Amino acid sequence: MSIKINGGSTNFASTFTASPTAERTITIPDASFTMAGSGISTTYSAPQSGAITTDNDGSFDLSVTNNFKCTPTEIFTLTFTNHTAGQSGYVILDNSGGYAVSAAATTKLGAATLATISTAGVYLLSYLDDGTNAYVTASGALA
């Protein structure tokens, strides 16, 4: 990053300290520039703010966002599509109806977890995708 202080230009590796009385101009890259992390190659296909998308059929398209809310109205298969390696997020599962939940072949979670989330309640599911499979954990029923 280049920071212009008192008419000069200085490159900083990570952090800098400036006098609070010094005149300074900080130029941030324009909108075409992607800032992620130092030395990290990053590809974003959806907003990183974590918007919550409502999808009540139990099939979550990972190209849309990383966080979902699901209130099923019937038995469903927990499915993640458009797998993206390294993507992670959450699903708020409001299974107040106690509908049976099964898992797609590419959705990896234990039988005990499936039994838990098939019981009436509200659950927080977390997932991490490796590009082929979504690995899922679940909370207990939340009040």
Residues sharing a CB contact under 8 Å with residue 3, sequence separation 6 or more, in sequence order: 9, 10, 11, 12, 16, 24, 25, 26, 27
User: How is the chain split into domains, by residue range?
Assistant: 1-31, 52-138
Q: What is the pLDDT of residues 74-87, one digit of tens each?
A: 999 999 999 999 99
Check whether 30 has a pLDDT greater than 80. no
The SS3 assignment for 112 reads helix
Alpha carbon distance 42, 23 (integer Å): 34
Q: What is the pLDDT of residues 74-123, one digit of tens each?
A: 999 999 999 999 999 999 999 999 999 999 999 999 999 999 999 999 99
The SS3 assignment for 57 reads coil
